[in-house]
Amino acid sequence: MDSPHFSAGAPPTVGTHATVERAGDLQWQAVEDGDVVGRAEAFRRPDGRTFVSIDTWHGAVFDLLATAVPADLPGPLQTMVDEGDHDLTDRWRRAGFTLRRREREYVVATGRPVGSRTPADVTILGPGSADVSALRELYDAVRAEVDADAGWDTMPVEVPPGAPLDPARYAVAEAAGRYVGLIRVVSRRRHARIGLVAVRTAERRRGIAGALLTDALGTLHRNGIPTVTAEVDEHNTAAAALFECVGAQRVGGTVFLEREA
């Protein structure tokens, strides 16, 4: 979801007499003198969050749409902006959006990763191998632990509570007959994204997260996927260190803004 940059040479009068009309269930357009001069769209993600994007080159039209859309939708609403686009961030702020979180984006080469060895008492079960009920139990336990600490909304994942889990997207770490950690990987053709790496609180600092990540990178490499991306909350120093240990390179970042109502 990308919001546009604004051209310094765009005529400042465009949008002065524009009006906003609904173009669909979650779509809007700004019309001036019979021409569409801007569009906005909202997208409800599976995790329940609603994101908004605006497509226009004209500042006045952006401001008009950024005011009209929240008036039509219940909050909270979120949007995402490249961390380097300060002008666009300022426009969303003027529309009543405030900083929610920042994420760093990493790219990791899957070939010959330098990572952690699997602890002797831990077994990594690859994608599709996990028992569905045990995976659900682990996922719910991890979610509760994160929610009690940093808060689940700091996690860049899209799985709402109670939603079905696809074992094909998860590898798990098993110790003493129970699942203690997981990694979620989504692959499409030659691209993959790591959406979550998590270990039960009592099992942390044993190298399990590193073992899960190293195993996942090896699996992706064998499947012909050369690189994988991941997003990490800027305050999650442990996750950033984990990825940097396997040679991840930071390639950018995203600012998430939110408007409550």
Nearest to 229 by CA among 198, 188, 194: 194
The answer to whether residues 51 and 42 touch, using CB atoms and an 8 Å cutoff, is yes
Higher pLDDT, 171 or 165: 171
Give pLDDT, residue 7. 43
Cβ-based neighbours of 94, under 8 Å, separated by 6 or more: 63, 66
Residue-wise pLDDT tens digits, 169-182: 999 999 999 999 99
Residue 6: pLDDT above 70? no
Higher pLDDT, 125 or 149: 125
Give pLDDT, residue 235. 86
Residue 85: pLDDT above 60? yes
Give pLDDT, residue 90. 94
Residue-wise pLDDT tens digits, 21-78: 999 889 999 999 989 999 999 998 877 789 999 999 899 999 999 999 999 998 899 9
What is the average pLDDT score of the chain? Answer: 87
Across 114-127, average pLDDT:
87
The answer to whether residues 101 and 232 touch, using CB atoms and an 8 Å cutoff, is no
Residue 80: pLDDT above 80? yes
Burial tier of 115 (Cβ tally within 10 Å: 0-12, 13-18, 19+):
buried
Task: Please list the alpha-helical segments (H only) found in the chain.
Answer: 59-72, 86-94, 132-148, 208-222, 237-245
pLDDT band at 8 (very low <50, low <70, confident <90, very high): very low
The 10 Å Cβ neighbour count of residue 108 is 23
Q: Which of 143-147, 196-200, 254-258 has the lowest mean pLDDT?
A: 143-147
